[in-house]
Amino acid sequence: MIRYSREIRFTVFAALLFLIPFFITVFQFRRNNENFHKMYTSGYMEMRTQSAARLVSDVLAANYNILEIVNSQNLGKQDKESIAALRKKLPSSCYDIAILDQNGRERYRISSGNNAEYDYSASEAVGIAVSSGVAAGNVEYSRYMPPVFVSAVPLPDKSGFAAGRFSLAYIGSIVRRIAKNSYGSMGIVDSGGQVISDSLNVSAARPGMLAPEQLLNALAYARVENMSSIVQEANDEKRDYLISISNIEGTDWWFYEVLDTRFMPLAKEGMKITYTAISGTLMMIICAFATCLIAKGIFQKE
């Protein structure tokens, strides 16, 4: 009994002699591997959100710039009859454009179709433009239609303001196309943290919903630090996330991407390390038994 007990102790000692440094090495390698994947994914996410933010900025400048529309079609100097003939020239995203006096009261309007009447004088964007004398805009949310961007800008001759309403449905389609290659969710939030559009279409079911708390915290930090883009790690009670946000130039909107770290690119490499650790452990145990047999022969000779 003593002899076998001595052999067992020797076998356990030999196994631990192999396994302890092996497990330490595997642990460090797995940890470094996870950190590398996070660093790689963070850089990739930041590049994606910055590129997406530039794309959205270009689309807004090309299709949602009301002053450019007014200047290109000379709306500020046309009478009502002439403006009616220009209806078909409005961008497809534009519901209507109104020419307002210096007090924000509507002088005339051109509409692209049969849309519900809208009181520009009660608009937040028009109120800010009239009081400050500079361009202003805001997003309005509705349960039955995509978010609407309302913009008001002073006319070049200072005779009043041009105001317009634009559907953001096209911006939403851009978000969804960009997000096809994303491992997480993407979207755009406005200055108040409300989701304009997201790749999962949750905002369509809940118009004007606030972004998740972790995303709002990242936005607040970026504003305080005056950063145009940022990548942060965040977590809740169950999961860890990577959050990347980039400012859309010319606006106080932000393009974001949120990724559950379990679905990072190359995340499955961690499972390969686990399989390697299991295989190595089995090999160490086999080596320990082989050492036991060798030790048994040595002890028997004694």
pLDDT in tens, 94-103: 888 888 888 8
Residue type, 195: V
Has residue 1 got a pLDDT over 50? no
* pLDDT score recorded for residue 2: 47
Segment (H or E) for 107? strand 106-111
Structure confidence at residue 85 as a pLDDT band (50, 70, 90): low
DSSP conformational letter for 158: S
Has residue 174 got a pLDDT over 90? yes
Query: What are the residue ranges spanned by the domains of the chain?
Result: 64-167
The CATH architecture assigned to 64-167 reads 2-Layer Sandwich (3.30)
Structure confidence at residue 72 as a pLDDT band (50, 70, 90): low
Strand pairing partners for 286? none
Cα 203 off chain centre by = 13
Give the residue-averaged pLDDT of 138-147: 88
* pLDDT score recorded for residue 150: 93
This prediction's pTM: 0.76
